[in-house]
Every structure is written in C-alpha cells, then in structure tokens.
Amino acid sequence: MNGLAEAVASFALTRWVARKSRADFERWQAAALRRFLDHDLPRAPFYGKAPSRLEDLPVTDKALLMRRFADFNVHGLTAAEAWTALEHYGRAGSLTVGASTGTSGNRGLFVISEAEKYRWLGSILAKAAPDLLWRGMRVAVVLPQNTGLYDSARKSRLVKLAFFDLAQGPERWRHALEAFDPTVIIAPPKMLRHFASESFRLRPQRVFSAAETLDPVDRPVIESFFRLPLDQIYMATEGLFAVTCRHGGLHLAEDSVFFEFEPAGEGLVTPRVTAFRRRAQIMARYRMNDLLRLSDRPCACGSPLRCVDEVVGRMDDVFRLASENGPILVTPDVLRNAVLKADRRIDDFRLIQTAPDTIELRLAPSLADEAAMAAQQAVCKMLEARKVVVAVTVVRVPLPLETGRKLRRVECRLEQAR
C-alpha cells in the first residue's frame, strides 16, 4: 500500500470503529490485540515468543525502552544510530526517528515506519477534523521540534500543513503564521494564550491544545479570543493517546492502544499502554508518567471509545510531603485548585516543591497583595487539613512566556521524584 492509501485506510478504519457499540468494539479490539501479540510482538528480540496473555508480559517504561532500545524495534536499530538519524532530519533508511523534548538524560526516542506515519496521519485527521477535510484544510502545527511525523502531510493534496518551531519563538514566524491563515491550529496552551494576549490575526475553525497539560486557567482566555471551544490532542513521544470529539469528549485512542490503569490516589490513574497497531517499535504494557481522571459517562457523540475527564499532569509533579500520619502525595490538580480558587484575580502562578518541607508560590508582581496572601493561605490551609508540616513562601516574579521548556505550573523539584 502506498502512503496515501495507508492514510485513507486508516481514516476509514478510525471512522468505522467510532460507530460500533462498546461490546462490538471490545470484540474488535481483543482480536486486534491478539494479532499483535501473536505476530508483531514476537519480532522484537526483547520478547522472542508470544505470551498467551497480555498480563503475562512484563511492565515496561521509558528507562527500560531506552536502555535496550535495539531489542524493542524489529529493525535492530541501535540507540546510537537513532540519535545520529535524529541529526539528519530524523531519517534512518525508510524509518523515521523522533525524540521527546527534555534534558539529554531523559529524552525518549521513537521509531516509526513509513506506513505507520501515514496511518497516524489518517487516524488523527479522522478524529480531529473529519468534517473539515474535504473543504481544504490548512493546519498550523506549533510544536517544539519537527519530528518528521508531519512531513507526510505536507505532501498530501487534501491538507496543507505548516510547521512553526516553538523553540524559535513567535516573533520569528508571526507574520508567516498569519499569512498562512490556518483553519486548524495545533499548539501548546501557553502559545494559544500568547496568541490571545498579543491579538494575533487568526480565524481558525478548530483549535487544539497539544504537547502540554491543558490547565483550566488557560481555557477561558483562549476560548473567548478564538470564539471557539478549545479541543485537545493528548499525545506524547509514545504516540497519540486521546483526541477531543465534536461533542467535547476527550476520547482515548483505544482503536490503536490498549489501556490498563493503575490507581494513583485521589481518583486518578496512570495508564499502561500497549500500542497494538505499531509494528516497527514494540510498546507493550508501557507505563506512562501521566495522571488521568477517567470519565464514568458515555459521550453524546456515541463513540464506543472511553473518555477522560482531565489529563491532570505528570506523576513527576506530584508533591511528596511529610504529614503527622507519615508520607503523603498531593496531586497537581488539588494544588492548582487551591491557588486558583483563592482569588478570582489569579490567572497565572507557579507552585514548586523545592525541598521536602518547602513550597515556593510564584506570582506576578502586578497581582494585588490580598490575592497573593489569599493564595498562600489557601495552600497552607489545604495542606494543614492533611496534617502536613510545610513552609509556603511567596515570591513575586514576572511569569514570562517560556518557549524552551514545557510549562508546568505545579512542579516537584525533589531529586527522588525523578
């Protein structure tokens, strides 16, 4: 199959699956997972032979995948070869190599084949904007780096795709973006908020937040500027995990990924993913670092794919604190809500755990003193209620747009959290 045919087939499959009942969908998914376990997974040297059940496979994570990189891809590509390929437009023969952002020590690498690249494109179009496809779609992607994934779209007649490098900063490409006049924009929420505050001349029909956790504090600013509901594409180095439908439901990509969930407290879960439609690099029972709140209601759109109420943040950013009853964990959403609910004037902040018993609350110098004090007291009160002994200090500093790193409003900087 050539590239376009792969994309079209994947588009059609994604739309077809979305119309199934949950019971029919689960039968289809179980058969697809079985095929993956029997035929694709054993081709990676790490596995060697197929297990009878998924539960018999070891749980994997990024550290293991990076340490034994060559054993998890079926082409025998080594990590050294992949890093070299990354410097050469991400090409290693017919394979595409991409990497996550982050410090050099914890960057993740991924490998996909040409066919998988087109399948990814077909599936993301089917989920994100099937209604726009036939009317000439101009998609602007503002992400940290060109992973090579998007090259495939550029060549297609149905979609005009333009890539704007987040790392270069918006002043470098503002005019080019406005001239491109995108109908779909995919960008991190901080950048969408920057478009709003700087009044960029844009009139998209769909706006997607991607690559960073969407903080509820950014949503109203972005939605009122574009006069559109803000949608989400939840994707990571490891793949595409959820996309918002036209009814606003954030649906898990269960049509390409089998999800298992580990409870993480406070009603949250961390996902373990098995990407059963990927063949170049095998990812099975892979533990993600994200914290999700699953929805218990079906979506009005009728899709059998389960919904996520919120992608809350990362496991790394959970605060680890000492209480009278022993060590406890406090999740980013609880901390964030304490700050934001303290005073309506607060629309940006940073909350950083800098030591086992110290939290720094950063607020802009322009924020009123009473609001700052209310936020500090709210965090202290919430933690006192959980018998935590901790000092919360307020630091007044500007909170500028940072394009070089992911925005994390709640961040744990303790060493043992890494």
Rounded to an integer, what distance in angstroms lies between the CA atom of residue 271 and that of residue 249? 18
Alpha helices (runs of H) in 129-249, residue ranges in sequence order: 151-154, 170-180, 189-197, 219-226
Alpha helices (runs of H) in 68-169, residue ranges in sequence order: 69-72, 79-87, 114-128, 151-154
Nearer to Zn ion, 244 or 376 (CB): 244
Nearer to Zn ion, 208 or 319 (CB): 208
Which residues make beta-bridge pairs with 185? 140, 207
**Exposed, middle or buried: residue 252 (CB in 10 Å: 0-12, 13-18, 19+)?**
buried
Q: What tokens does 275 get?
A: 């990407």
Q: Which of 383, 333, 340 is nearest to 358 (CA)?
A: 383
Which residues make beta-bridge pairs with 232? 209
- Minimal distance, residue 308 CB to Zn ion, in Å: 11
Nearer to Zn ion, 233 or 379 (CB): 233
Nearer to Zn ion, 127 or 277 (CB): 127
Rounded to an integer, what distance in angstroms lies between the CA atom of residue 24 and that of residue 94? 36
Do residues 335 and 328 touch, judged by C-beta distance below 8 A? no
Q: Which of 288, 290, 285 is nearest to 46 (CA)?
A: 285
Amino acid at 221: V
- Minimal distance, residue 59 CB to Zn ion, in Å: 30
- Minimal distance, residue 255 CB to Zn ion, in Å: 13
Nearer to Zn ion, 219 or 246 (CB): 246
- Minimal distance, residue 301 CB to Zn ion, in Å: 3
- Minimal distance, residue 299 CB to Zn ion, in Å: 3
Nearer to Zn ion, 242 or 268 (CB): 242
Alpha helices (runs of H) in 2-113, residue ranges in sequence order: 3-17, 22-35, 62-67, 69-72, 79-87
- Minimal distance, residue 252 CB to Zn ion, in Å: 11
Nearer to Zn ion, 292 or 339 (CB): 292
- Minimal distance, residue 249 CB to Zn ion, in Å: 3
- Minimal distance, residue 333 CB to Zn ion, in Å: 22
| Residue 365 Cα to chain centre, angstroms | 31
Which residues make beta-bridge pairs with 359? 353, 392
Nearer to Zn ion, 92 or 301 (CB): 301
- Minimal distance, residue 154 CB to Zn ion, in Å: 29
Nearer to Zn ion, 98 or 304 (CB): 304
List phi, psi (to 5°) of 255. Answer: -80, -5
| Strand positions, DSSP E, 132-174 | 137-143, 159-165
Q: What tokens does 362 get?
A: 């950063």
Nearer to Zn ion, 295 or 377 (CB): 295
Rounded to an integer, what distance in angstroms lies between the CA atom of residue 10 and that of residue 116? 10
- Minimal distance, residue 250 CB to Zn ion, in Å: 8
Rounded to an integer, what distance in angstroms lies between the CA atom of residue 239 and that of residue 257? 9
Which residues make beta-bridge pairs with 236? 239
SS3 320: strand
SS3 157: coil
Question: Which residues of this chain interact with Zn ion, rule CB under 5 A?
Answer: 245, 247, 249, 299, 301, 303
